[in-house]
Each structure stands twice: as structure tokens, then as C-alpha cells.
Amino acid sequence: MGILEVKNVGKRFGGLQALSDVNLSVRENSVHAIIGPNGAGKSTLLNCLVGKLIPDTGSVMFDGQSVLGRAPYEINQMGISRVFQTPEIFGDLTVLENMMIPCFAKRDGAFELNAISAIPAQRDIMEQAEHMLEDMNMADKRHMHAAAMSRGDKRRLEIGMCLSQQPRLLLLDEPTAGMARADTNNTIDLLKQISDERDITIAIIEHDMHVVFSLADRITVLAQGTPLVEDDPQNIKGNPKVREAYLGESA
Amino acid sequence: MFKLEKTDQTLLIVVGILTLFAPFILNPFPEGSAMAQFNAGYPDLMQRFVIFGIFAIGFNILFGLTGYLSFGHAAFLGVGSYAAVWMFKLLSMNVIPAIILSVVVAGLFSLLIGFISLRRSGIYFSILTLAFAQMMFALAYSVLTPITGGETGLQLALDDPRIFGASQTPEGNIPVPGLFGLEMRDSFDLVMGSWVFTFNIGYYFCAMVMIASFYLAIRIFRSPFGLMLRAVKSNQQRMNYTGLNTRPYTLAAFVISGMYAGLAGGLMASMDPLAGAERMQWTASGEVVLMTILGGAGTLIGPVLGAGFIKYFENIFSKINSTILHEWFAFLPDGLEDFIVAILYPFIGKGWHLTLGILFMMVVIFLPGGLVEGGQRIRSWLQKRKSEKNTPNGSTEPAE
Ligand SMILES: Nc1ncnc2c1ncn2[C@@H]1O[C@H](COP(=O)(O)OP(=O)(O)OP(=O)(O)O)[C@@H](O)[C@H]1O
Ligand SMILES: [Mg+2]
């Protein structure tokens, strides 16, 4: 049994069957990559995992509990964090404030009326946030408005925000899209490091094969809303079905 | 001091000094001079400055921080006023229990209305709050006449069954609201040459409450809760996927701002013990929106400035009439005098709304951050000029 078990999930948008009969099992503490051509339904699948969409059929179990019917914040509090395809950060806040919010959510839960104490008095939160910024190499940007950063930096901030929650399952939707090569390599190193050091499971959607093959323990190929194959990386490269549906297309 | 950051502390002290010395500051022109009508230092108006300041400070906690634009906040001010007057009628003429009840009742109403309205966001939220406020106005105006006094409003009477205190004074008058023996309407005039400064107990009571409210607002702005509210405004989606439930945050902000409105309503009734439904009308709700935007939504001091600005206009500009205009321009040749008076006339007296509307449009277009942004621009312009003077060759240091 994996930490995440997706069974027979289907999702329809009007006339479009975006997902049909998706089965996916993600092993605990592994890095599982989901690849597939544009429009294959990868993001839609993630949406079904975090409560953004409710699938029409099937079940999604996280650590033995169903996530279906729960609000996104509840699913997050269960231990699933998600990095979006287009960065979702608090653009009006500073980078440090962005980093503090998930720390508060981790410590205080979904709601806490802490309206009188000053923020700097929250030593533990400040320390955690500063620490994470250093890990992400962003300490010098701490007082910058998050909206003013480059797309790559926003993405890295978002990854940092998700990591500071110490999630058990981290979902990444094309985390290196829009990043410079150097930043991409940094991100790979960072993800490698955290997956080695921490008890964390990572599911990553990625178009960049360099990223996929440097990180993934297991790969699922999705095409037209259905998983084509699920296998180890070395077998995926040579699989003719995959070449046809995906690699062949981009070559 | 006060557990505040340096700049916030300075701001609080400045606001404190300005409110305490307002009777001087607002009366710069000698009595009987042509400019005396621009004096605003009379108790009635000064009370309104600080009471509406409180209203706007509270409104800003909701609108400025979370971005949820309520179009029904006057309803909470209205219920606050009714609650206070009932307290005067039934319990005692002391303003403290009256104000406490105002805040509590307004809090309960805002809890209910907020709970329902916050199921939607954006324009739908605004419309829901507007609808609720209009329903409450209609109820107060007609259906609930036994409780609200309907069209005439709720007033004190000579036969009120006051539990603590008499129904009538020994002279057979209705007693007035007070604070442990101090009557709210009592004033003391200080005559200095041709200047007259009035110190009113009611004003100073309201001023103290406003400074306390302002202090509390600063604490809220700088707290983790305040950060969460700004996060709600910035990106609700990210909030949700970060494990935070936005609903109780917005509801708490809504209730807090509703309680501020109730406090303002209670103070209003304490200064003049009557309450009318017109306080709950949508125009009154719109006014606090204008105050907040005009002053600078989301800033600490903006709403107070906006409230003062609008109340000054309402009371001072509206009193200028054509006779006064003719006096001002009497030095001009007759034809020209009439011409200028005719042009200016629509903008004064009852036409003050027109002036205010134009000013509001200018602020929104040219200073989206309100008067506070205007102040900041002037300051940075002055600093630039100063540094240009200091470096005669004209090369200025880049900012930052
Ligand atoms: N909310 C929606 N309503 C209608 N159609 C949708 C919705 N979300 C996604 N789709 C459609 O479902 C299909 C799958 O979309 P999805 O975003 O999951 O693809 P993807 O695999 O993430 O692609 P990409 O690599 O471009 O991100 C697409 O055809 C898309 O247009
Ligand atoms: Mg996608």
C-alpha cells in the first residue's frame, strides 16, 4: 500500500473526459514523477488530490483516509502541500511574510485569533521562516515584495513555503518551468536533498526530462487522461508505447 | 513603549497630541473675523470627527486588510445607537454600560450578517451586506417602531423607567448622559484675546475612546491575525492550500469592524441621546467607504484623515452661502463679482456634495493610495529638493 492510493478516478469537463480510470499508487518516501503531453490531465489529477476538484468516480486515499469531500485546507492539514503550475504566492506581502504564513498554519492550525501580539514576538516562527529563506538562498530578498520577483524566484519561494510546512506528501506541478538552467539545477539539488534527508514523499509533474530522470524513483506516463505505463525510470526510456505517446512526439 | 514599533509609536503619539489639542488646532481664526466660519473647533463637530474616525478605523480593519468591501456597515452603527438609547431609558444615564451594550449588540448583528454574507466574495458580498443593511433600515423605519421609534426615532422621555437614576431631574427635565457625575454636554470656554476655545467633556471622552481604538487597530494590523487578513486579500487560493481556513478569519475581521461601528453608534447616542433609522441608510454606509478610500484604505491613519476631511466639508462648506460669497468678492467690479459667485455657487452650501465628489474622483484617479499617499509624495518631493540643494552639481543619490 502506498501513502497515496488513487483508484479508478474519472473526471469529465462537459464533453471532455479529462481523466478516465486513473490508478496510481505512490510509495512512501519515494519520488514519483507523472509525465505526459500537454493536456494529458496531469494538473487535473493533482486538482483531484488537493480538493480543488472532486472526481466524478473513484477514490483518493491518503495514508488510509479518503481526501474526497474535504476542503483544501483540511487536506493540507492532513499533510499534503502543493506547488502550482503558475506560482501561487502572496504577491502583496514581503518574501519573509510569505514564508511566515505556512509556519503559522503548521503551528496554529487552520484558524487562530492571535490579534494582539506583535509578529516579531513570534520568535519560533521568525526563526523558521528566516531559516527556510536561507535554505532557499533567498535571505537577501526577505523584504522584497513577492510580486516583484522573477517567475523562477516566485516558484522557489512557493516550494520553500510548502517545505516549511513539513508536509508528508509534496505535490509539484512543473516546478522548474520558467527557471534558468542554474536555478533548475539548484532546485533539483534541493529536492534531492530533502527527499534524502526527510520523511517526505514527492509527486512531481515535469516536462523537463533532465529533472525527471535525475529525481524520480518511479514514473507514471499519462496520455489523454489515462495512465499508459507505470515503471522504473530505466524501463520508461526504452518503452515503445511511451516513445510513441510522449517522447516521440517531442523529439 | 506600548509594545509598538518605533514608527507606529510615533504615529500614535502624534494622533494623541492632535486629538487632545484639537480645540486649539481647529480654531485658528479669531472669533468674529471673516475666516471664523472655517473654524471647526466647536464640540458638536469635534465629536463627529472622532466618532466617525472610530467608525472608519474599524471599517478599515475589514476593507483595508481583507479587501472585503461592505456596503452595510452603517447598520451596525445604527443598532449601536439604538442599544445605547435603550440603555439610557432602562438602566442609567451613565455612558459606560450604554456603550458596552452598543458594542455587544453590534457584534451579535455583525456575526449573523457576516456569517451569511461571507459565503460570497467580491461584488456579491457587497450586495449582500447592502441588502441586509437596507432590510434593517426598513425594519427600523417602520415595522419595529415600538423598539426603534420609527420615523421620529428613539428618544428619551420624561417617564422612562430608569432603574439606576431618576426619570426626571428635580427641575422636571430629562437627565443627560454622563460619566460618574460629569455631563457629556458640559463645556468650558477659554478666552484668549479674540480667540475662544471650547473644551467639551463629551469630546474628550470620545477622543480618549478613539485613541484607544486607534491603538487597538495598530496592534491588530501588526499581529499574526493582521498578517492573515492581508494574506486573504492577496491570495485566498494560496491560503486554502496552505491549510488555512479563510472563512473564520474574514468573519472575525467583519465582527471586529462591526463592533467598532457599534462603538461609534453608542458614542453618538451618548453625545446626543437619540437614535434614528437614517443612520442606517445606505448613504451612511457609503460615506464610511468614501472616508476610508479618500484617506487611504489599508493604512493606519488614512481612515481617520478621511473621516475628518469629509466631516469638515460637510459642516463647513455646506454653511457657506451666496451672501458670504458676495462678501468675499465684494472688492471686484459688480458684474465680475456676480459672475464668479454664480460659478462658485453650485459648489457650496447644499452643493458641497459636488465639491466632495470632484475631490474624491481626483484622489481616486491621481492618488489611489488616498490622502496618505499624497502626504508621502509631498514628503519624498521635499526630501528630493533638500538633497538637490545639498548637492549643488545636481547629482542626486538614487533612492534606497
Ligand atoms: N476547469 C476546467 N474546465 C474545463 N476543462 C478543463 C478544466 N481544467 C482542465 N481542463 C481541460 O482538461 C484537459 C487536461 O488539462 P490539464 O491542465 O490537466 O492538462 P496538463 O496535463 O496539466 O497539461 P499541461 O502540461 O499543459 O499543464 C485539457 O484539455 C484542459 O483544457
Ligand atoms: Mg498542467
Mutate to test the interface with B, among A70, A84, A85, A90 (most CBs of B within 10 A): A90
Query: What is the structure's pLDDT at B400?
Result: 41
Of all residues in chain B, the percent with pLDDT exceeding 90 is: 46
pLDDT at B320: 79
Residue A41 confidence (pLDDT): 92
Of the spans A223-227, B164-168, B335-339, which averages the highest pLDDT? A223-227
B-interface mutation test, from A46, A101, A143, A144, most B Cβ less than 10 A away:
A101
Residue B168 within a domain:
yes
Complex ipTM, two decimals? 0.91
Q: How far apart are CA A149 and CA B152, in angstroms?
A: 59
- What is the reported pLDDT for B66? 95
CB contact under 8 A, B244 and A105: yes
CB contact under 8 A, A165 and B225: no
Does B300 score more than 60 pLDDT? yes
Does 2.160.10.10 match the CATH number of domain A4-88+152-247?
A: no
CB B325 within 8 A of CB B347: no
pLDDT of residue B274: 87
> What are the pLDDT digits (tens) for B346-368?
877 778 888 888 888 888 899 88
Residues 6+ apart with CB under 8 A from B341: B322, B325, B326, B329
pLDDT for res B206: 94
Number of domains in chain B: 1
Min distance A67 CA to chain B CA atoms (Å): 14
Q: Is residue B195 part of a domain?
A: yes
Q: How far is the CA of A94 from the centre of ligand 2 (A)?
A: 27
* pLDDT tens for chain A, residues 1 to 251: 789 999 999 999 998 999 999 999 999 999 999 998 888 999 999 999 999 999 999 999 999 999 998 999 999 999 999 999 889 999 999 999 999 999 999 999 999 998 888 998 899 999 999 999 998 888 999 999 999 998 888 988 999 999 999 999 999 999 888 788 888 888 898 889 888 888 899 999 998 888 999 999 999 999 888 998 888 888 887 777 777 766 555 43
| Closest chain A residue to B218, measured at CA | A116
Distance A42 CA to ligand 2 centre (A): 5
Q: Is the pLDDT of residue B31 over 50?
A: yes
Q: Which residue has the cell 474628550?
A: B204
Task: List CB contacts (< 8 A) between A125 and chain B.
Answer: 224
* pLDDT-wise least confident of A94-103, B18-27, B100-109, B385-394: B385-394
Q: Tell me, in angstroms, the distance from the centre of ligand 1 to residue B238's CA.
A: 20
Judged by DSSP in three states, B115 sits in: helix
Domain map (residue ranges) of chain A: 4-88+152-247
Query: Is B365 inside a domain boundary?
Result: no
Distance CA A220, CA A144 (A): 38
Within-domain flag for B287: no
Residue B255 lies in a domain: yes
**Using CA positions, which residue lies closest to atom 6 of ligand 1?**
A13
DSSP state string for B220-256:
HHTSHHHHHHHHHHH-HHHHHTTT--HHHHHHHHHHH
Residue B27, domain member (yes or no): yes
Domain of residue B269, residue span: 6-281
Q: A135 — contact with chain B (CB < 8 Å)?
A: no
Q: Would residue B307 count as lying in a domain?
A: no
Among protein residues, the one with the nearest Cα to ligand 1's atom 4 is A13
- Please tell me the predicted confidence (pLDDT) of residue A126: 93
Among candidate residues B45, B23, B42, B48, the one with its CA nearest the CA of residue B265: B48
Q: Which of B241, B249, B250, B255 to mutate to test the interface with A (most CBs of A within 10 A)?
A: B241
* CA dihedral of B180, B185, B188, B189, whole degrees rounded to 10: 170
What residue's CA is closest to ligand 1, atom 8?
Answer: A44
What is the separation, in whole angstroms, between the first and last Cα of chain B? 28
Percentage of residues in chain B having pLDDT higher than 70:
97
3-state DSSP: chain A helix, strand, coil percent, rounded to 5? Answer: 40, 25, 35
Compute, in degrees rounded to 10, the torsion defined by CA atoms B209, B212, B213, B216.
-160
Largest CA distance in chain A: 62
Measured in angstroms, the CA of A49 and the nearest CA of chain B are apart by 11
Spacing, Cα A46 to ligand 2 middle (Å): 9
Residues from chain A that touch B240, judged by Cβ atoms under 8 A, are 71-73, 76
Q: Are B43 and B206 in contact (CB under 8 A)?
A: no
